[in-house]
Structure 1
């Protein structure tokens, strides 16, 4: 039984940010009912790579553990159904553009009157207030405005983006965190509230001391490629077999162990490298020396030797290496879950973090469109078969 067992969630999100928040809630036991447009469903049903039969391989992950209820939210009857569901809901997650829920008569002020204990998680590009609140805000734009894009890549070329929609997932995690905090507040007071999670602020929150460095001394962080300026050695280094390993030995004790393994213990006492700040000033020099050494051995051998002397190191993995790695296998970091649409198990990342007493679990992959419409309307609202048939005929569900 997950820690959120008994918590009911309506997910009215789309694409990534809201649905990722819903995925996290579902992973830990909440009953998450995902509301989707009839016929088309969430766009995530079409996004990403497909298998040989044209089935998306992303939907089974981001919609895992959820139920699918179809509603045409432009129809007044569908809006009334949402209000009825809200009366029995603990958390509502939505990530439409700010104001869209109000257009449908489903703003927080309306829903809170129906259910004063409701927690409404609202994920948008720029938040529910401020001059940009009405703007569309995809992760790429908000990553740029939150500061991430300008420091990503190499200084001699334009900024690059991560190969994932990081801003969306950060906002989804912020929404998840906000929902849990709001649940604790409700536990104490009985009072619900609105959680305002913006993508740009979710990115901004992980930008470390970037703003303080500028405000306190005029320093502007620039793109620095595979290093963090002033943090050395901590870089990607080449190996004899053409691979790459990451070594992080930027503490004095770690650096001393590394140089001993390299057969060059004198480097730890060299005035250029003897402490953290000195190594930061001579970062390129120490990286070049380590790179010459790392080229003499294959990646696997290097990683094992570094592990033996407790110097953090690891290879740069792709999915293939993750699936083959004995540590990933021992911890079941990647698991395989049977998928009815694919007709076979599909590999995906497991549920994190791990709780010792009430762990989360993957109960099933993403559902078929509208798979649980009848069940939810019957169990939550007491609709009978005739009620449901009429709604289907009228295009409400």
Structure 2
């Protein structure tokens, strides 16, 4: 069955996480992604983090999955000619350099749109392509700080904290993929031709947190970090450790679900206390509720907590480690952890799940220059020219046998 994005070609000049993840998410659903790396100097994600048994970085394996790898010096005149040919046949170009890098290389959006007026260009940068901070260098943690995420995470009397994954870069990748699809849809409808998607790394988190700005500007409430509880303490919940050492997270989103939660830990009399008749009342007495939750959970083994919560149609979910995730029956049933033939490394499969045109992981991140010869040949270069470009160091060809037809 044809994949839904099978006729989309993406040129990836991105590096590290934000831009490459946007392309990877679309590659899962069939987009042809050609990732360009400098000859002899690949993306730093090849070396960052632990290595698999075959010596390839596990982070690289999943960020570069389904991508064809082209080693090309696109800043040289011959390399620029190759890039122009690629752009002419592409639908999307992804880049996440600092603002001005493409322009100084002579391939800013104006030039790219001369080559291909229908090209969608995703430009990811720390603070956006314009404004007083456009040239300020940024990393994911700086973006997490600017978005408000770090301020909302941690204990009230402690320092702001960052989450256990690159939240800013990852959410930017997700938002970048969304931006690409919106721009392609507008192009398909004939509203515009190619356009620029300008995405600052802090903006995706700023949008996804969603509530902190209207809370301040609409209600005069400034959300603050609150340890194991929610920043504004508007619903009962928290993270607690059972008697047998299992961490569980407990939550309720509305008055009725909150009362079911209170009934599970304190009985009917506690749940029907007039003070808890509304969410405002529950919020006003959250410290007492949190203490009751903590007392209930810590005095019991997880199986007992789980059973009691289930009896009252409330939720106490175990906090899963990576080991728990790969062994979890529901995750296995959904097919969320996948592998490819010939590689022992498993990765998280395509999300979301489509009923008729599902995504797939066809291969994991490949070695430097793995597809260079095949790609350049497809552009019309003969064998002698390819060898001449390789000898000049303008392209790099991967190990024999790795080129994909």
Q: What do residues 225-250 of structure 1 show as CA deviations (whole Å, max 9, x unaligned)?
A: 12112323121122110221111124
Deviation at 1:54, TM superposition (A): 4.4
| TM superposition shift of 1:20 | 0.5
Partner of 1:354: 353
| Aligned match of 1:195 | 197
Q: Which residue does the alignment assign to 1:124?
A: 125
SS of the residue corresponding to residue 264 of structure 1 reads helix
Contiguous gaps of at least 5 residues in structure 2: 396-405
Please say if residues 230 and 277 of structure 1, whose CA atoms lie closer than 8 Å, have aligned partners that are also in contact: no
Q: Deviations over 1:12-62 (max 9, x none)?
A: 100010110111111110000000011121111001122466431111111
Pick the aligned partner of 1:291 from 279, 291, 294.
Answer: 294
- Residue 217 of structure 1: CA displacement? 4.7
- Residues 307 and 391 of structure 1: is their aligned pair in 2 closer, same or farther, counting only changes over 3 Å? farther
Cα–Cα, structure 1 residues 35 and 300, in superposed 2: closer, same or farther, change >3 Å? farther
Indicate if the aligned counterparts of 2:36 and 2:71 stay in contact, CA closer than 8 A: yes
Contact 1:234 1:250 survives alignment (8 Å) = no
Q: 1:265 aligns with which of 238, 257, 268?
A: 268
The CA distance in 2 between the partners of 1:348 and 1:301, in whole Å, is: 33
State how far apart, in whole Å, the 2-side matches of 1:309 and 1:233 are.
15
Q: How far apart in 1 are the matches of 2:280 and 2:299?
A: 28
Worse-superposed segment, 242-251 or 162-171? 242-251
> Could you tell me how far 1:297 is from its partner in structure 2?
2.4
Pairwise mapping of residues 1-397 of structure 1 onto structure 2 (< 5 A)? 1-51=2-52, 54-189=55-190, 191-228=193-230, 229-262=232-265, 264-338=267-341, 344-379=343-378, 381-397=379-395
Q: Are the structure 2 counterparts of residues 300 and 131 from structure 1 closer, same or farther at C-alpha, using a change threshold of 3 Å? A: same
Task: Confirm or deny: 8 A CA contact 1:230 1:279 kept in the other structure.
Answer: no
Structure 1 residue runs without a partner (length 5+): none
Q: Post-superposition shift, 1:310?
A: 2.7
Contact conserved, 1:122 with 1:196, CA < 8 A, in 2? yes
- With over 3 angstroms needed to count, the CA separation of the structure-2 counterparts of 1:270 and 1:121, relative to structure 1, is same
| More divergent stretch after superposition (206-215 vs 281-290) | 206-215
Q: Secondary structure at the match of 1:346?
A: coil
Deviation at 1:174, TM superposition (A): 1.2
Q: Aligned pairs, how many?
A: 392
**Distance apart, 1:90 and its partner CA:** 0.3
Please give the alpha-carbon distance, in whole angstroms, between the structure 2 residues aligned to 1:376 and 1:345.
Answer: 27
In 1, the alpha carbon distance for the partners of 2:36 and 2:338 equals 27
Report the secondary structure of 2:39's partner residue. coil
Contact kept in structure 2, 1:338 and 1:346, CA below 8 Å:
no
SS at match of 1:180: helix
